[in-house]
Amino acid sequence: MHPALRYDCHVHLVGNGQDGSGCWLRIEGLWLKVLSEVMRKAVGMPLPLTHKDFDVKYVEALRELVRGSYVDKALLLAQDEVYDEDGKKLDFGSFHVPNDYLFKVCRENPEFVPAISIHPGRKDALAELERCLAAGARALKLLPNCQNVDCSLPQYDEFWRRMAAAGLPFLCHTGGEMTVPVMNRSYQDPRILRRPLELGVKVIAAHSSGNSHFFDQNYFGELIKLMDEFPALYADTSALNSPIRSGVLKQVKESGRLGRFLHGSDYPVPVGARWVWLRGLITFAQASEAGRIPNLIERDAFLKRAMGFDDGHFTRLGEILRPV
């Protein structure tokens, strides 16, 4: 019997599209410009975001990080554009990663597992979903507060039903956001996931519904209430090794529901060891060792193991992904 594969369930694919990938980046405003540069340096990317070879080099570097880490595979995320409720594309957002490019990267690199992104308000949403299912989609990712997705709208019911029938899980951003522009803050509340859950969709609430900054709301209590009501609701621990989001880790550990949480890093978001040490979740020696790990995929996995997350935290995604 083969051992269960270990996954990082939250890894971003990005690109500028200069090589024909179809991706685009739009980093506007001082905060996003500074943050994107911090992230670029943190992941060790030598090329600027505008370089013509950036897309290829990003994938090559990410592949080597996964190969050199505790995890066997990474769930790689596409990023759809922003639409209104009537399916009109809006001029909003900081990056786009097409599903076709995601599939190409995953075909060429077996370390990656494809998580498509389709705004359910698109005129062709169901057709695109069918196309992506046929191409081997294993999950679907959205950021409702950033991509303007009200998951409770009745016109999206058919989309959720088709996902449920296909066994395609929904990785959904929950809680605040600081790395990409937010369009509607009310959609960061995990209670917006009620309708997909009622229709049978397996849902993974990204970031465990914690707060992203000091003035942001922590929705962890609402997440737990939903978990008690819906057995198909999970959450990931992505981006929790960061200054503010790390505050929810103690709640996760003490929730009595560790079997519902999955490992994720949120690469290329920086991974810091000092935050969980300051919160008393690891020792100084463990924090020092983590700080010497340049590979952010490995550093995040190391910190989760140091905090006491078991093997199931890393392998559980394999039971949730759509089989192909």
pLDDT digits (tens, 9 = 90+) for 102-149: 999 999 999 999 999 999 999 999 999 999 999 999 999 999 999 999
d(CA 28, CA 315): 38
d(CA 199, CA 163): 9
Q: Which own/partner contact pairs does 127-132 have at CB distance under 8 Å and 24+ positions apart?
A: 128/99, 129/159, 129/162, 129/163, 130/162, 132/99, 132/103
The residue among 28 and 265 whose pLDDT is bigger is 265
pLDDT in tens, 208-225: 999 877 778 999 999 999
Q: Can you give the pTM of this predicted structure?
A: 0.95
pLDDT for residue 31: 60
Beta carbons of 25 and 15 less than 8 angstroms apart: yes
Q: Read off the pLDDT of each residue in 258-286 and give the average, rounded to a whole number.
A: 96
Q: Read off the pLDDT of each residue in 6-29 and give the average, rounded to a whole number.
A: 91
pLDDT band at 307 (very low <50, low <70, confident <90, very high): very high
Distances (CA, A) of 269 to 18, 173, 225, 246, 297: 23, 14, 28, 13, 10
Beta carbons of 189 and 218 less than 8 angstroms apart: no
CA 305 to chain centre: 19
List domains and CATH numbers for the chain: 7-320 (3.20.20.140)
pLDDT higher than 90, residue 41: no
Name 239's Cβ contacts closer than 8 Å, sequence gap at least 6: 10, 206, 207, 245, 264, 265, 266, 269
pLDDT for residue 204: 99
pLDDT higher than 80, residue 194: yes
- The DSSP-derived string for 53-98 is THHHHHHHHHHHHHHTSS-SEEEEE-B---B-TTS-B-S--SEEB-
The residue among 185 and 75 whose pLDDT is bigger is 75
pLDDT for residue 13: 96
pLDDT for residue 25: 87
Q: Read off the pLDDT of each residue in 250-264 and give the average, rounded to a whole number.
A: 97
| 141 phi and psi angles, rounded to 5 deg | -120, 135
Q: What is the mean pLDDT of the chain?
A: 93
pLDDT in tens, 64-87: 999 999 999 999 999 999 999 899
pLDDT in tens, 295-305: 999 999 999 99
Percentage of the chain beyond pLDDT 70 is: 96
Residue appearing with tokens 């465990």 = 208
pLDDT for residue 30: 65
Residue appearing with tokens 């296909």 = 166
Residue appearing with tokens 């997705």 = 149
d(CA 174, CA 312): 22
Beta pairing, strands 7-12 & 73-77? parallel
pLDDT for residue 43: 66
